[in-house]
Copies of this chain bind each other. A is one copy, B any other.
Amino acid sequence: MEIDQSTIQEKAGPLTRAWGLLKVLPGKAEAEILRVAKSIKKLGKDDPRRITHSLKVGLALTLLSLIYYLRPLYDGFGTAGIWAVLTVVVVFEFTVGGTLSKSLNRGFATLVASALGLGAQQLASLFGDKGDPIVLGILVFLLAAVSTFMRFFPQIKARYDYGVLIFILTFSLIAISGCRVEELLEMARKRLSTIIVGGATCIVVSICICPVWAGETLHNSVAANIEKLASYLEGFGGEYFQSCERSNSDKSFLQGYKKVLNSKSTEESMANLARWEPRHGCFRSRHPWKQYLKIGELTRQCAYHIETLNGYINSDIHAPLEFRCKIQEPCTQMSAECGKALKSLASSIKTTTVPSSENVNVENSKTAVQDLKIALKAVSLEHDQDLLQILPAATVASILVEIVICVEKISESVHGLSNLAHFKSIEPTVSPEKPHRGSIKPVSKGDSDHAVITIHGTSPDSPGNETPKAPKLG
């Protein structure tokens, strides 16, 4: 296509071409503007915090302009006020944790580097006028090289990367500047005070106006990821076993899990930033952020299995109807109960309540695994099955069993989180959808192995394809 158009354009004269371009331009520009406007709207809609963040940055910068316009302040800071503006632009991050980490890194690094820079100057001055630049050059070289290498350490990179950068910067500036010590002290004082003003402005604006907490974001995204898997699993049974009938319905729930596959880096950086944040909402200052990474890891593990499972959903080879009918009930049950368990775990994370109702679902899914085993044993007795034909369906069943194990692990890790973070304990309200018989007490982590609750007579219409309400937790 592109080649065709260019040959046509080459044949036409330059005037004709320009005219053609002019004719096309308004339409194209309009389409482009529409496209951009749409994507702007989508960006803002996807996460309205982006809009408030942008306004906050504008506000912080405008606040600092006051430093320049209010004379008393201006006289106090002088042109070093430039550093306050610079600090705001560089330090203001989307999350409170990011802003705090950068501000503190910047402040401390400037402090340490100033002191070291002064020391380096004193040391170099011992070597006389000729030796001075050489010694300073060597010192700058060594310090820059060593600090740069330190930035490759994963622990330092995760938490102090920006600090090391500012350290190199300030040290070089002070060591190289060649000013007298008194001048330098004055300069360092001014720079530090402006950085403090700039950093403080950022921190105050960042915390006081619609704060975006990295910890809260991590908390919610872990819960949301679990929910995505839940949606998939709840819908899977209906989709796989009745794929022909319902090909037109909305299948977006089958794609949601894909975002979970690559969630690792985001979660890790959020956890790193969350450590900088003070107590907020229901999160203490030493909230067990690492546990979220564990849950995230297990969630991804489950997502990998689902990815493999998903390959079979549109498989061409359909197992004999008879075999499918036999495993349909336990498979749908396993998948749906896993989905419900995950939904319930996600909602317990969201509401920071001790997870309890998911136990029923986990046990139900285990029962379904046993049912499956019985069904499979029955199959082997009949002698009329072709293993090759039933293999895809059998594989689906086998992967579902793995998913059940995975969901149990997720459940344990969420229980671990609930212990570590002291989630609120709430008497489980009975889920309206599934009246369970016999008494069920909330089972804490560790007990879960012993609490075998077998539920007989599950309603045959419950698993599958309509979205069941997550058991309410309060």
Contacts and interface: CB of A to CB of B under 8 A. Distances in A.
A173 B82 contact: yes
Contact of A377 (B57, B145, B383, B386): B386
Interface string A378-400: 01100101111011101101110
Contacts of A398: 391-392, 394-395
Interface in A57-82: 57-59, 61-62, 65, 68-69, 82
A149 B54 contact: yes
How many protomers of this protein does the assembly include?
A: 2
A142 B305 contact: no
A20 B222 CA distance: 44
B43 A85 contact: no
A221 to B, nearest CB: 15
Contacts of A68: 176-178
Interface in A18-56: 39-40, 43-44, 50-51, 53-55
Q: Main SS of the interface on chain A?
A: helix
Contact of A308 (B173, B261, B308): B308
B391 A51 contact: no
Interface in A241-266: 261-262, 264-265
Interface string A156-171: 0000000001001100
A388 B402 contact: no
Give the top 5 A-B pairs by smallest Cβ distance, nearest first: A58-B145, A395-B398, A54-B149, A58-B141, A54-B148
24 contacts: A39-B153, A44-B149, A51-B149, A55-B145, A57-B168, A58-B141, A59-B141, A61-B144, A62-B144, A65-B172, A65-B176, A86-B169, A89-B144, A89-B165, A262-B262, A262-B265, A304-B304, A377-B388, A387-B387, A387-B394, A391-B394, A391-B398, A394-B394, A394-B395
